[in-house]
Amino acid sequence: MKGYKFAGIRAEIKKKDQKDLGLIYCENPAVAAALFTRNKVMAAPVILGKEKIKKGLCQAVLVNSGNANCFTGDKGIQDAVSCAKMAATSLGISEDLVLVSSTGVIGANLPMDKFETGVPNIVTHLSENHVDDFAKAILTTDTHNKIVKESSIIGDKKFSIMGIAKGSGMIRPDMATMLAFICTDVNISALDLKISLSAANEKSFNRITIDGDTSTNDTLLALANGTSGVKINDTDSKKIFQDMLDKVCLKLAKMIVKDGEGATKLIQIIVKGAQSKLDAFKASETIAHSNLVKTAIYGEDPNWGRITAAAGRSGAQVVPEKMDLFFDEQPLVLKGRWLGEQAEKKIAQIMEKKEITITLDLNLGKETDSFLFCDFSEDYVKINAEYRS
């Protein structure tokens, strides 16, 4: 994408022989908007980023994996500031235009000597063609890069949006989740970009879960450099841009869930027929977070009682005798009555698939909401038991 350069290198921040330092550089300052974690234990780069983003401009983003720089006190803040200064000096830009992000183990200080050598080095690797290197450098327990690019036309001009994300565990959104960076070439105000980003986030990153844990480092950042000449400044252009941004964010969100730690299946839970939007959200969220539901799906067991029980404890208004439950298009419960062993056998076959849609109709109203989640396997326990080793 014109006007953006990327890099990813090994700076020896991680113990393993993997890339662990990434950089996004805009040739000119870009309009910027961001969402950050609502976890009260916030990492130093999040604390710093929340202040810097108020200016609505950004020209570079330095990201490290292998160390979260969280719960590190004043030194953590000082280290985050120092990393931004190093990048600014190496790039010859203002420190105010550099944001930093970190992901990895909580509680350890950054190995600043690695940044002192790594930051000047990574600047020499910047290229329009190094998106894959950047995407790889920000991974932790992820098994692959997560990159999405879409293009469209407004008037007679083409514009593009590219998203790069990491996330595999510690995923329970409460604003965004994981780290995600959106680069676009449209001309848009910081306020309109923030509005669009927030709306896209609600439909995507805020509707996924892997393990029910909200990270301390969650950051969703969008940059717009205006190089396409496409202006997002009226109702029609805003809708086209919003639709495209929604698409990119949803694709990234699905990639994160499919790559969940130890995951074998991607599930969408749809709750419809709720009395209120809040009820639809509560029921779908509770089902998606249920470990009993997740383990039953891993075992390919149509244990539907776990789903209806989760809805019942969600705080949503439910009437058991009115519930309908479907796996894909196959009903298992209608008006609160189990349809029997033959229906359950059909559901068991559906549960062998890698992607499943579960629909719970409360039959109490017209509101709908949904979540994307994954199953729980033995590998999830193993990955997290050995995370720091």
The pLDDT value recorded for residue 172 is 65
Residues 229 and 309 in one domain: no
326: domain CATH number is 3.10.20.340
Q: Are residues 25 and 140 in the same domain?
A: yes
* Domain boundaries, position 317: 266-385
Please say whether the dihedral angle defined by the alpha carbons of residues 82, 88, 89 and 91, taken in this order, is positive or negative: positive
Do 43 and 165 fall within a single domain? yes
Same domain as 218, residue 96: yes
| 251 and 296 within one domain | no
Residue 377 is predicted with a pLDDT of: 85
Q: What pLDDT is recorded for position 176? A: 44
Question: CA angle, 157 as apex, 154 and 159 as ends, to 5°?
Answer: 75
**Catalytic (active site) residue 177:** yes
78: Cβ contacts below 8 Å, ≥ 6 apart? none
- From 217, 239, 258, the end of a domain falls on 258
- 246 plus 319 within the same structural domain: no
**Whole-Å CA distances, 295 to 184, 299, 378:** 39, 6, 10
Same structural domain, 207 and 164: yes
Residues of the chain with pLDDT under 50: 175-177, 389
Final residue before a domain boundary, out of 196, 225, 258:
258
How does strand 4-9 pair with strand 219-224?
unpaired
Q: At what angle do helices 73-91 and 112-123 cross, to 10 degrees?
A: 20
Q: What share of the chain is helix, strand, coil (3-state, %, to 5)?
A: 35, 30, 35
Cα angle, residue 253 at apex, residues 226 and 76 outer, rounded to 5° = 75
Whether 59 and 187 map to the same domain: the answer is yes
Q: Check 37, 72, 140, 177 and give the catalytic one.
A: 177
CA 259 to chain centre: 12
Domain count, the chain: 2
287 with 200, same domain?
A: no
Residues 6+ apart with CB under 8 A from 129: none
Same domain, 42 and 127: yes
Query: Tell me: the pLDDT tens digits for 9-46?
Result: 999 999 889 999 999 999 999 999 999 988 889 999 99
pTM of the predicted model, to two decimals? 0.91
